[in-house]
Structure 1
Amino acid sequence: MNRVSLDGQVAVVTGAARGVGELLARKLSARGARVALVGLEPDELKQVSGRLHTESDWWHADVTDHEAMTGVAAEVKERFGKVDIAVANAGVAAGGPFLDSDPVAWRRVIEVNLIGSAVTGRAFLPVLLESRGYFLQIASLAAITPAPMMSAYCASKSGVEAFAHSLRAEVGHRGVRVGVGYLSWTDTDMVRGADQDDVMRELRHSLPWPANRTYPLGPAVDRLVAGIERRSAHVYGQWWLRGMQPVRGCLPSLVGVLGQREMRRFAPRLGGVRTGLVGAGGAADEASRRTGPVGAGAAADEASRTERD
C-alpha cells in the first residue's frame, strides 16, 4: 500500500514510558504526528513528552482499567480533536517453569498484554471509527511459536494476535484498519531484565539462529513506523519473521522436541529462576499495583493534571 503521511495525525501509544513505546512515540513525532502517551510511569512519560518534536501530552493510566482508559480516550479526543492511530504496545513478561510460577505475576502478564490490549481497543475504537484510522497491536515471535519457560507471555501474545485478526474482520468494512506487529528479541529493558537470570539467558541463546539473537531497537521501530504509514495488516520488526509465517504450523512440534531436551539439561538449575515480572517495566507495574495507578477523567489525580499543565 502507499504510505499515508503522518503529518498532523494523532497517535496514541500505550506503554510509552520506555522501550518500544518510547522510541515509537519519538519516531512518530519526528514524522509530524501529534502523540498521546499512556503508561504507568508519570515522571518518565513527562520526560518523553518533553523530548518530542510535535504537540504531545501524557496520561498515567493502567491499560487493564476500562473506566480509566475510556476516560483517557475522551480526554485525548478533547485535547487533540481526533485520534488517527492507536498502538496497543503496553506489555510485561515473566519467565520460569509454569508449575513454579508466581500465580499473581502469571495472571498479570495475561491481564496487561491481552486484557489491556482489548481494553485499549474498546476505549479507542469509537474515535478510530470517526477518523477511519488504524489500530496496531504489538505481538511477538511468541505468537508465532511457543517456547518453554514463557507460558504466560506466549499465551498472551497468541491471544492478542487472534484478537487483532478478529477485530480486523469486524471493523474493516467501517474504514478502520487493524495491524499486528511482530518483534523478536529486541534490545529493551524487558529483554535485558529476562537476561539477568542465567538460565533464561542461556535457554534463549540456545535457540536456533536467527531467533537466538538480540536485535537493535531502532531498526525494529523503524519497521513499525513504516507499517503504520502503510496501515499494514502485518508488520515485522525483523526481516526474517515474515518467513516464519508459512512454517508456523510445524513449529510447535519442533519446539516440543528441542524444548524437552533443553529442559532436561537445565532441570537441576530451575529452582533458582526468578518468577516475578522482569525488567524496569515489570518493576513499575508492580509498584503501581502497590500504590494504585492514576486513572483519567473524573478519576484522575488533580495534582498530576496540574503538574502536566
Structure 2
Amino acid sequence: MSKVALEGQVAVVTGAARGVGELLARKLSARGAKVALVGLEPELLKEVCSRLHTEADYWHADITDHEAMARVAQEVKERFGKVDIVVANAGVAAGGPLVDADMAAWRRVIEVNLIGSAVTGQAFLPVLMESRGYFLQIASLAAITPAPMMSAYCASKSGVEAFAHSVRAEVGYKGVKVGVGYLSWTDTDMVRGADEDDVMRELRSRLPWPSNKTYPLGPAVDRIVAGIERRSAHVYGQWWLRGMQSIRGYLPSVIGTVGAREMKRFEGRFGDAKRGLVG
C-alpha cells in the first residue's frame, strides 16, 4: 500500500495533552507534519506544543461543544492554510457495574467519546474535503468485544466504530479517507487510573492472553503513524487485534458466560470500586 509523506501535512489531534494524543503529536511532528493540538488542559498543551519539531499551535476547546469546535476548525485552517489529517483521539472512561453507576459520569463517557467524535468530524470534514484528507477515529478493543464493568466505554467505542464506518461511506466520493484505530490496554494515564481499582485490575488480569497485558505506548503509536501514512481503513495498535475481527461474532456469548462467573466471584467488593471519570 502506498504511503503519503507527512512532510508539510497539517494534522489535528484531539486529546493531545497526554497519552496517545501527546505522543502521536510528537511523532507526527518528527516526520515533518505541522500539528494543531486540541484539548482541555491548556498548560499541558502549551508544553507539548513547545517541544514539537515543526510549526505547531494549540486550541483549548471541549470537543462536545459544536460551536467551539467549528471555530477551532476555522482557526486551524486560517493558521496553517489547510488541514490534511484529523485524529479524533480524545476520550474518557468510567468503570463499575451499571446498577451502581454514577450516571453523570456514565453519560459523560458517551458525550466525550461518541458525541465528541461526531462533533469533531462535523467540524473538520469540510476542510478535509478540500484537501482530500484523512480522518482517523480512535476506537478500542472495547469496540470489538464487550466487557463487564465497562458498559459506558464499550458502548461509546462501539458507537465511534460504527460512526466512522458510516462517515466513510458518506465522504469517500469527496476523496476523504476514514480510518478506525483499535488499541488494547496501552500504558496511558487512563489505563493506570483504571488499575487503581482493585476489582478492575483483578478482572483485567483474568482476561485471556494477550488481552490481559498492558502494552507500551511507543510501539502502539508507531503503528498509528504508519496507518496515517497509508490512509488505512483499519489501524491496529497491537498486532493481534487484527485477528480479533474474524472472531468478534462469537465474543459476546463467550464474554457473557465468563463475565457472569467472574462478576459472581467479585460480588460484595463492588462497593469499593471507583466511580469517577478516568482520562
* 1:1-309 alignment, distance < 5 Å: 1-278=1-278, 281=279
- For residues 4 and 82 of structure 1, the distance between their equivalents in structure 2, rounded to whole angstroms, comes to 16
* C-alpha deviation, 1:271, in angstroms: 1.2
- For residues 153 and 37 of structure 2, the distance between their equivalents in structure 1, rounded to whole angstroms, comes to 23
Stretch moving more, 269-278 or 248-257: 269-278
Count of aligned pairs: 279
Amino acid at match of 1:115: I
- For residues 118 and 108 of structure 2, the distance between their equivalents in structure 1, rounded to whole angstroms, comes to 14
Partner of 1:305: none
* C-alpha deviation, 1:82, in angstroms: 0.2
* C-alpha deviation, 1:272, in angstroms: 1.0
* C-alpha deviation, 1:273, in angstroms: 0.6
User: Deviation string for 1:83-114 (max 9, x for gaps)?
Assistant: 00000000000000001010100000000000
- For residues 236 and 93 of structure 1, the distance between their equivalents in structure 2, rounded to whole angstroms, comes to 20
User: Deviation string for 1:30-49 (max 9, x for gaps)?
Assistant: 00000000000000000000
Amino acid at match of 1:102: D
Partner of 1:293: none
Amino acid at match of 2:101: S
User: Deviation string for 1:234-285 (max 9, x for gaps)?
Assistant: 000000000000100000000000000100000010111111102xx3xxxx
**Secondary structure class of the residue paired with 1:268:** coil
- For residues 270 and 13 of structure 2, the distance between their equivalents in structure 1, rounded to whole angstroms, comes to 36
- For residues 197 and 156 of structure 2, the distance between their equivalents in structure 1, rounded to whole angstroms, comes to 22
- For residues 47 and 174 of structure 2, the distance between their equivalents in structure 1, rounded to whole angstroms, comes to 36
TM-score, normalising length: structure 2 = 1.00
Q: Which has the higher contact order (CA 8 A, sep 6+)?
A: 1
Identity %: 82
- For residues 127 and 52 of structure 2, the distance between their equivalents in structure 1, rounded to whole angstroms, comes to 23
User: Deviation string for 1:107-157 (max 9, x for gaps)?
Assistant: 000000000000000000000000000000000000000000000000000
**Secondary structure class of the residue paired with 2:11:** strand
* C-alpha deviation, 1:173, in angstroms: 1.0
Where in structure 1 do 4 or more consecutive aligned residues deviate above 3 Å? none
- For residues 92 and 272 of structure 1, the distance between their equivalents in structure 2, rounded to whole angstroms, comes to 20
**Secondary structure class of the residue paired with 1:275:** coil
- For residues 66 and 139 of structure 1, the distance between their equivalents in structure 2, rounded to whole angstroms, comes to 21
User: Deviation string for 1:11-68 (max 9, x for gaps)?
Assistant: 0000000000000000000000000000000000000000000000000000000000
**Secondary structure class of the residue paired with 2:13:** strand
- For residues 187 and 220 of structure 1, the distance between their equivalents in structure 2, rounded to whole angstroms, comes to 10
Amino acid at match of 1:5: A
**Secondary structure class of the residue paired with 2:276:** coil
TM-score, normalising length: structure 1 = 0.90
- For residues 74 and 102 of structure 2, the distance between their equivalents in structure 1, rounded to whole angstroms, comes to 36
* C-alpha deviation, 1:205, in angstroms: 0.6
RMSD of aligned residue pairs (Cα, Å): 0.4
